[in-house]
A = this chain, B = another copy of it.
Amino acid sequence: MELSDRKKQILKAIIGDYIRTAEPIGSKTLAARPELSFSSATIRNEMSELEDLGYLEKPHTSAGRIPSPLGYRLYVDELMSTPEQLEELGTDQLMQIKVRELDRLIQEVGKLITNLTEYTSVTSTPVLQRTLLRQFEIVPIDQTSFVLVVVPETGSVRSKMVHTVSGVSKDEVELLAYVLNQTLTGIPLSSITTERFDIVRRAAGLSALLGPIAEYMAELIESFGTQQVFLEGESKLLRFPEYRDIQKAQELLDYLGEDSGKLIPIQKKIDGVQIMIGPENGSSALSNASMIYAKYDIGEIGQGVIGIVGPTRMDYAKLSAQLAGFAKGLNRLIAQTFLDEYK
């Protein structure tokens, strides 16, 4: 059922006011607004119906109304006026970030988001599973030590030292590297496993003593698929009146700190900005909190997420515009920092 225009107008006014003041909004306050030229009694009737429909809530009988999660949902989907020009806040500061490691760069971005928005931020490094293996190198160091180097088609090189048992000849290792490069390059990193490695090894008639190399390589390749999540500015939550009650604050902070991984939404289509309101987040610890996410791209090959967490009462319009702005800036920053690596 579609709401009447007047109901929408009232709901929008309530949410707008409540976002600013954090106080329940009464009919008289609303009636004083120039654009709502009805009497407070009329508005009261409308509010009562909006409550029946589930868009508003009453903290107690003789208080004004506050928006319910459903109310916020309607607000973000239909009612709120998205700022025309993308928030350019902080783009210059963003472009100042000079860090060359992707993970630390994302962490810095998280700090910047926290500082500029005054909200707790959640950021994730991208998952790069889809990347193809470009080259694989085994660099001999001494009799039993080798450095494995994995060069992906796009993204950063990673390396690891491995120690074999003595009895593995340098030649054999070199041959292994050659065979691997012949057979395994050009395939997705995610499809390279210890087993596959061993098949190749056996096919080439090479010693089983090369086992440790397989194990370490698997570990190294796995690390391309792992995603890091950074949480910054937890303390920003405490400035909100909704967390005046230490219990609530602690519950939320506990949840956030415990395993940040679960905060990142399943990588379904987040296009532009995604808003999760209260219970939509799933976890009961988040039932009074909202999150706003934007995705950023790392070249063609992966995407990560930046976001903020706060009470359900937040300025969704402004914050999602800001976050979209950050994401856009971050795309540029990544392109420029890793110009050569992620084409």
Contact = CB atoms under 8 A, between A and B. Distances in A.
Interface of A: 100-101, 134-135, 137, 139, 141, 145, 147, 149, 151, 156-161, 163, 219, 223, 232-235, 238-239, 243-244, 246, 249-250, 253-254, 256-257, 340-341
Contact of A137 (B135, B147, B158, B243): B147
Given A137-B147, A157-B159, A235 B219 contact: no
A-B CB proximity, top 4 nearest: A235-B253, A159-B159, A238-B250, A163-B340
A141 B135 contact: yes
A147 B147 contact: no
Contact of A157 (B147, B223, B246, B256): B147
A82 to B, nearest CB: 31
A100 B141 CA distance: 20
B147 A149 contact: yes
Pick from A145, A159, A257 the residue with the most CB of B within 10 Å. A159
A253 B238 contact: yes
Nearest to A246: B238
A199 B147 CA distance: 28
A232 B257 contact: yes
Nearest to A155: B161
17 contacts: A101-B223, A141-B151, A147-B157, A147-B159, A149-B149, A151-B161, A156-B160, A158-B159, A159-B159, A163-B340, A232-B257, A234-B235, A235-B250, A238-B249, A238-B250, A238-B253, A244-B246
Given A101-B223, A147-B159, A246-B249, 15 more contacts: A134-B141, A137-B139, A137-B147, A139-B139, A147-B157, A158-B159, A163-B340, A232-B257, A233-B257, A234-B235, A234-B257, A235-B256, A238-B246, A243-B246, A244-B246
Contacts of A244: 246
Contacts of A254: 235
Contacts of A158: 159
Contacts of A256: 235
Contacts of A238: 246, 249-250, 253
A232 B257 CA distance: 7
Contacts of A100: 219
Nearest to A101: B223
A161 B338 CA distance: 10
A296 B141 CA distance: 28
A97 B163 CA distance: 21
Contact of A160 (B145, B157, B232): B157
B234 A253 contact: yes
Nearest to A100: B219
Contacts of A137: 139, 147
A137 B147 CA distance: 10
A238 B161 CA distance: 43
